[in-house]
Amino acid sequence: MSPTDPLAPEPADAIIAAPLLTARGIRKSFGDVEVLKSIDLTVPRGNVVALIGPSGSGKTTVLRSLNGLEVPEAGTVEFSGGDVVDYSRNPTKRQLASLRDRSAMVFQQFNLFPHRTVLENVIEGPVQVQKRPKAEAISDARALLERVGLGAKADAYPFELSGGQQQRVGIVRALALKPQLLLFDEPTSALDPELVGDVLDVIRELATEGWTMVLVTHELTFASHVADTIVFMDGGVVVESGPPSEVLQNPREARTKQFLHRLLDR
Amino acid sequence: MTESLWDLLLRSLLPIVGGALTGTIPLALLSFALGLVIALGVALMRLSRIRVVSGIARVYISIIRGTPLLVQLFVIFYGLPSIGVLVDPWPSAIIAFSLNVGGYAAEVIRAAILSVPKGQWEAGYTIGMSRGQTLVRVILPQAARVSVPPLSNTFISLVKDTSLASLILVTELFRQAQQIAAFSQEFMALYIEAAVVYWVICLVLSSAQSVLEKRLDRYVAH
């Protein structure tokens, strides 16, 4: 069924860990602007892949193509053991749902449900979608909230929380789904500087626990500590990718060097 | 003279309030409830990506808003019988008022749905919800809060508009007042009395609106 070419080159670390998710040839235009020009991305199981690059480079669009929030014109996304979702052939609702069943997302703007309490936010997916017993979902949710230091906030409404607390709820809401893959879309970009640390701590902990994650971020220092693979994008293409020690410390490409310099010069 | 006028007003209060309780209020409540169901359907049709579907909704809204309610009422009660469809006064009134509310409230509900940030839909999708599930569990509760003030206006207008049903022989508040006025020839006094009763009903509704708004306040960020 899967049209995987056995001769297609795989990234080196794919040999160590089998890929959980493979995306190939993702192309996307908004009007006349081609924002993604055939992107390939492999996410090995248990790895953290960080997408970095200047704003407008298309990294968020790549991330959103992995769960069908963005529907590219072409390209395939495939979870190991799952269907190949081929965007050039109008994927069915069921196929998009299969991507979302296996993944969960943390948003830049949190996107918590404002009319539900913290606990209700967290159990919504497990109870309403996954049809897990409510009591079990609640005790799981409470344990997760406890872990991120928000056990006392279970009955609060989102507007009663700080941005950092809301984002930790956002992370817990994603974890409660027990997804195979966690997607983070600039999770700290909307936060006040003093609140960034708490959220990054949680993400770092998840990385050490072995969660598979794709992370769009501007926090390069954080990415260098937490990521197994850094993917540097610019102008809708992957310019360079590899372990942080290569891409961030010894970049090969001029554009990567330029980008890193600009950030370090600030 | 003055004595008997007060007496008349006092004696007519019972049938007028009775007309409100058995005519105006049930007519308004029933038509509003049915109207909201129609409005939700029309609003969703209007938001559909299928052109024919949104086009039908657009035409419906345009007709309802572009023609007088009195004309709509007369078409159903006096017009339909000439093509062989007889509808009694009460059903005629309910059909006309529901269709009317359906047209106006559809635009309110559509705007309220559109006012909910796109990120809320996306959050629903990423926790695995379908479009319908997200609509019902995430979007509509938030849209409801936004639409309480404009829908309250629609309802208050409707309560007053039900007086038009007197023209198709529905015995409601205003028709009671008319009949007593015609009989006693005290037009000024009785029409003002009717006006006062409408006003009191609307005062009660306005305060109910603010209570409802406060209760739903937790649905919005401060």
φ, ψ dihedrals at A34, nearest 5°? -85, 105
Give me the domain span that covers residue B80: 2-219
Cβ atoms within 10 Å, residue A266:
4
Check: CB of residue B143 under 8 Å from CB of residue B216.
no
Distance CA A232, CA A239 (A): 6
pLDDT tens profile B132-150: 999 999 999 999 989 999 9
pLDDT tens profile B180-201: 999 999 999 999 999 999 999 9
CA B94 to chain centroid: 10
Distance CA A234, CA A247 (A): 14
Residue A111 lies in a domain: yes
The answer on pLDDT for B46 being more than 90 is yes
Q: Do A159 and B220 touch (CB under 8 A)?
A: yes
Residue A247 lies in a domain: yes
pLDDT tens profile A184-212: 999 999 999 999 999 999 999 999 999 99
Share the mean pLDDT of chain A: 91
Check: CB of residue A59 under 8 Å from CB of residue A237.
no
Check: CB of residue A80 under 8 Å from CB of residue A18.
yes
Task: Give the total number of structural domains in chain B.
Answer: 1
The answer on pLDDT for A265 being more than 90 is no
Domain of B146, CATH number, reads 1.10.3720.10
Q: Is B220 on the interface with A (CB under 8 A)?
A: yes
Task: Give the total number of structural domains in chain A.
Answer: 1
**Most A-contacting residue of B118, B126, B146 (CB-CB within 10 A), to test interface:** B126
Per DSSP, helices labelled H in B67-139 are: 69-74, 89-115, 118-126, 131-134
Number of CB pairs, chain A paired with chain B, less than 8 A apart: 65
Q: Do B130 and A125 touch (CB under 8 A)?
A: no
The answer on pLDDT for A142 being more than 80 is yes
Distance CA B216, CA B209 (A): 11
Domain of A257, CATH number, reads 3.40.50.300
Cβ atoms within 10 Å, residue A252:
11
**Which one, of A135, A132, A155, lies nearest residue A145 by Cα?**
A155
Residue A44 lies in a domain: yes
- ipTM exceeds 0.85, yes or no: yes
Describe the strand order of the beta sheet including A33-44 as a list of residue ranges.
A33-44, A19-30, A74-79, A84-86
Q: Do A114 and B142 touch (CB under 8 A)?
A: yes
Residue A63 lies in a domain: yes
Average pLDDT over residues A254-265: 87
Average pLDDT over residues A247-251: 92
With CA atoms as reference, the chain A residue closest to B216 would be A115
pLDDT tens profile B51-85: 999 999 999 999 999 999 999 999 999 999 999 99
Distance CA A41, CA A49 (A): 9
φ, ψ dihedrals at A29, nearest 5°? -120, 145
Give me the domain span that covers residue A134: 14-265
Query: What confidence category does residue A3 fall into, taking pLDDT thresholds of 50, 70 and 90?
Result: very low
Distance CA B220, CA B222 (A): 6
Residue A4 lies in a domain: no
Q: Residue B84: left (phi > 0), alpha (psi -120 to 50), or beta?
A: left
Quick one: pLDDT at residue A82?
A: 86
